[in-house]
Structure 1
């Protein structure tokens, strides 16, 4: 998961790994709030970005097919990633899954329309 915070001053969004999440990780930008696994994400207007080509701050939650097997890399096409069925068959064979969906119920409680941090 990526959150719009920079605790290590690396000038990019912090990456929170599976082990930290399972251990109960919380921050002002992310926390769970009930037994049904409700999650709260907050994103300030300004803050570290998830990549150098990103204009806006954001939080990202990603499915990890590796199921805490940290021997499987987070990068590249491998058993941790799903790929689109439209890519080359040779790449599909390296992936942990083809196509697929991730579902969630979402509510947006507050949207900043001014571009100024509150």
Structure 2
């Protein structure tokens, strides 16, 4: 299946809208605007963008995310930076379509085994 040349990745679109101050446009249009607060929706999108930062040290921990969700203030002091996954997509003409994106993540995983006594 060949990708639609006019298609745009969600994260790239989200970042562009955020930069333009129009990230509220990411909210599903089928939702009734009277059923949610626009500023709260913007805040959720900003927190989500903060979770896409390249370095794990720049991303909020889950406990910080909870605090951010519960706080009533704005996120002026913790603005996201451009996610590393928002790179230009190169399309190769012909039968194949490829895209490139660069990322420099130092993400690690750990596993714990729990046993009963």
Q: TM-score range by the shorter chain?
A: under 0.3
Provide the TM-score with structure 2 as the length reference: 0.23
Structure with more relative contact order (C-alpha pairs < 8 Å, separation 6 or more): 2
With the length of structure 1 as denominator, give the TM-score of the two structures: 0.23
Bigger strand fraction: 1
Q: Larger % of helix: which?
A: 2
